[in-house]
Chains A and B, each alone.
Chain A
Amino acid sequence: MRNFILKRMATAIPTLLGMSMLGFFMVALTPGDPVEMELRRLGVIFTPDQVAALRQEYGLDQPIFKRYIDWLIRLFHLDMGQSIASGRSVLEEFKTHLPLTLTLASLSLALSILLSALFGITAALTRSQTLGNFVQFFSIFLVSIPSFWLALLLLFIFALSLEWISLLGSGAWYDLILPVFALSLGSAATMGRLMRDRILTVMSEDYIRLAIVKGLSPSLILRRHITKSILPPLITNWGVTFGALLGGSLIVENIFNLPGLGQMALQAVFERDFAILQAYLLFMGLIFFASNFIADLLNYWLTPHFRERTNSQGGAK
């Protein structure tokens, strides 16, 4: 177990380093000077000297590699710099915006799992051809819809036509209902199809037939035998999906006007707010890594085969 975790941590280091580099340079090399942008936004008439002074204050006059190394070193002290636009520290900004996005993504993942289980199990277990086809069609339909379009559609129906909710949001918990649906329906459909295929494959396995032949109750077979077999690939998928949902929140948050990380990031793009963007990209990478890691850890517990293989490899080293 410890070996497995250590090994995964070790492989994470080059990945994260690569991501940090990519994120940093991509942002730093985009055209547009953040200081000039900020000054222009404030409507200040500025002289080249003033710009130079400000650039020095933010360390933007340094060569780019030195800036990267400095940034990396400060990162280890959880100092990700300062937002040029708001003047607050990046950490502060994250603390303000992160909870909403995490809630949104977690709720969306939960809803996706719930809906996909409903889809998948019904589609797999039903003998009715019509119902099977309907579920199949519906899931292809949902998979094909981009989340921003679904978000606009939901807003159009519930805010403009039915007027059940306010277009601007009211800051209450139910503001999250539509965004959660907009985010999760697509992934629920993908996951539902995966679940259906897995269940059908597993049901034709000999060990499920043995369970049937033993005379076990269908509910026990479903709860114990089928679930244990379909869970590992699904968990891996959930890990990836969670990362994707966090990323997808960028669009949905902006459409629904939710002050989360996505909105923060998009604003930072418009303002060339380097510090925020660089931290956001690294954070997204980290979340992707972490959710995959947690998924692998769960699978490690669930599959004896996997557990022993990784252990024996770890022991050989």
Chain B
Amino acid sequence: MVDTPFFKLDHLTICHQNNDQKPIIDDVSFSLTQGQRLGLIGRSGCGKSVTSHAIMDILRPPLIRKQGQATLLGQDLFTLSLAEKRRVRGQGIFCIFQSPGSALHPALTIKQQMSEISTVTHQDKTTITDAIEYAFDRMQLPLRCLEQYPHHLSGGMKQRVLMAMALLLKPRLLIADEPTTGLDVLTERDVLSAMGIMLEETQSACLFISHDIRIVKKVCSDLLVMQDGKIVDRCTRDELTYRERAETTREIIDAMRVA
């Protein structure tokens, strides 16, 4: 039972609205089992983030989904009504964006942005307050942050605030889109360990998007390699160094070694 995929993406193709010559995402399919951590790597601009946006159905206008199907627990996500989509977002699938600096509302306190999650999880005031305090404790965030605005917090703290949100929402699938971009190695370590704690607690499956194979190897058990909008390689963490890997994969590994 554990191994049957609970999330499936089939034949996702995304094009530019006015120019359907060359798809930006070309026939991408993958699936996730309960609690699986899947890494999606590839160079910048290969379509990793666009894939995550497509799953959440928040593509930016000139991009349109040409074909494809996403299923979460048997529900076809793309055919849902707006209200049903809203119910899937948050507790079904939650997404942590790559730039925590712009992901939090600049004019709302952290507390306001945390506690509004109660409208999604249907918790009352005391329950949500307790849950927030617990989440902050787990993410090693000081409680005084709650009264502050995002620009008071460091990049790593903002990222951990997003993780704390995930702790409240307990999504079935968490998409983490380059959560450590722009962070120094120590902060990166803290954020990754916070994410580990969070995933353990929520039992969420995780699609981890990154260009950094070093981090992906730390976090994920399985990997997808993307190149020009196509999945060019799939393997487990241990198979990564095998000789018969696709060219892109080898390229990435070699580049990492030089560095």
Contacts and interface: CB of A to CB of B under 8 A. Distances in A.
Whether A and B are associated in the same complex: the answer reads yes
Interface of A: 204-207, 209-218, 220, 224-225, 228-229, 302-305
Given A206-B103, A215-B89, A216-B116, A228 B94 contact: no
Contact of B105 (A211, A215, A220): A211
B116 A220 contact: yes
Indicate the size class of the contact surface on chain B: 20 to 34
A226 B162 CA distance: 20
A157 to B, nearest CB: 40
A215 B86 contact: yes
B106 A304 contact: yes
B99 A224 contact: no
Given A206-B103, A215-B90, 18 more contacts: A206-B99, A207-B103, A207-B106, A212-B56, A213-B95, A214-B89, A214-B116, A215-B91, A216-B90, A216-B120, A220-B116, A220-B119, A225-B108, A229-B105, A229-B106, A304-B149, A305-B106, A305-B149
Interface string B105-132: 1111000000011011000000000000
A214 to B, nearest CB: 5
A213 B99 contact: no
A229 B93 CA distance: 26
A212 B58 contact: yes
Contacts of B165: 214
Interface of A is mostly: helix
Interface of B: 56, 58, 60, 86-91, 93-95, 97, 99, 102-108, 116-117, 119-120, 149, 151, 162, 165, 169
Contacts of B169: 214-215
A220 B108 CA distance: 13
- Choose among A214, A228, A305 the residue with the greatest number of B CB atoms under 10 Å from its CB: A214
Contacts of A218: 86
Contacts of A205: 102
B94 A213 contact: yes
B156 to A, nearest CB: 17
A216 B121 CA distance: 10
A207 B151 contact: no
A214 B151 CA distance: 21
B119 A210 contact: no
A229 B119 CA distance: 21
Contacts of B103: 206-207, 209-210
The 8 A-B pairs of least Cβ separation, nearest first, read A215-B90, A215-B89, A206-B102, A215-B120, A207-B105, A304-B149, A213-B95, A228-B107
22 contacts: A206-B97, A207-B103, A207-B106, A209-B97, A209-B103, A213-B58, A213-B95, A214-B94, A215-B87, A215-B88, A215-B91, A215-B94, A217-B119, A218-B86, A220-B119, A224-B116, A228-B105, A229-B106, A303-B107, A304-B107, A304-B149, A305-B149
A220 B89 CA distance: 15
